[in-house]
């Protein structure tokens, strides 16, 4: 069974502070990991995926197979980063996507 754990429901930081949203997963094979974001009153959208190793809006995430983690990081948070962030896992072949419970990020001025 595949499982995604996001231990923090809410993360509140000040503008300019570093941010790390934690994600741990459980999967027996080689997973595909994603971060999705939902801004207020908008639909869920892809932020980044581990396979592309890209940085989107200053966010990065590294897959650590030893720790089974895929934490999302940004060195300097901005107010517009305030949103709900979901870590998600898919098995090989892009089967069904399993979501974590999400972490609400609030960035205060």
Partner 1 sequence: GAVVSQHPSRVICKSGTSVKIECRSLDFQATTMFWYRQFPKQSLMLMATSNEGSKATYEQGVEKDKFLINHASLTLSTLTVTSAHPEDSSFYICSARDPGTNTGELFFGEGSRLTVL
CB of 18 to partner 1, least distance (A): 25
**Contact footprint for partner 1 (CB under 8 A):** 9, 32, 34, 36, 43-46, 49, 51-52, 86, 90, 94, 96-102
Distance in Å, CB of 85 to partner 1, minimum = 11
Closer by beta carbon to partner 1, 17 or else 46? 46
Closest CB to partner 1 among residues 45, 76: 45
Q: Supply φ then ψ for residue 60, to 5 degrees.
A: -135, 160
Q: Least CB distance from residue 92 to partner 1, whole Å?
A: 10
Nearer to partner 1 among residue 5 and residue 68 (C-beta): 5
- DSSP string across 41-109: TS--EEEEEGGGT--BTTBEE--BTTTTB--EEESS--GGG-EEEEEEEE-TTT--EEE---EEEEEE-
Phi, psi of 51 (to 5 degrees): -70, -25
């Amino acid at each position: 069974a595949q499982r995604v754990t996001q231990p923090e429901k809410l993360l509140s930081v000040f503008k300019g502070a570093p941010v790390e949203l934690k994600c741990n997963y459980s999967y027996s094979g080689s997973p595909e990991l994603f971060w999705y974001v939902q801004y207020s009153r908008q639909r869920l959208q892809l932020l980044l995926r581990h396979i592309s190793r890209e940085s989107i809006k200053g966010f990065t995430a590294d897959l650590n197979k030893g720790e089974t983690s895929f934490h999302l990081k940004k060195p300097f948070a901005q107010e517009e980063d305030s949103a709900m962030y979901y870590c998600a896992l898919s098995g090989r072949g892009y089967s069904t996507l399993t979501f974590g419970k999400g972490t609400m990020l609030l960035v205060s001025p």
